Amino acid sequence: MVISILLEGLNLKREDLQKVILTGSFGGQLDIESVIRLGMIPDFSPDIVATIPMGPGWGQRSFFLTKALRVEKE
């Protein structure tokens, strides 16, 4: 699993994660318990897993708004 490779590369364990966010046009529509049950992500507690439909677009808007505010302050 990709997440296992990322955790290993960062010397982290599953228990170190406080939040797992599934996003995008696919990830944002998934049922958290089904994803865990099917093994698509490690056996995380459903309490720390969240979905955000279209999260990349939200992040991009936040980045550009923040950048615009920084430019205005200068």
Q: Which residue has the tokens 């897993």?
A: 49
Closest to 43 (Cα-Cα) out of 68, 71, 17: 17
Residue 11's pLDDT is what?
92
**Torsion sign (Cα): 45, 24, 2, 31:** positive
Confidence (pLDDT) at 68: 59
| Helix runs in 1-74, H state only | 2-9, 24-27, 32-38, 55-73
With a cut of 70, which residues of the chain have pLDDT below it?
1, 67-74
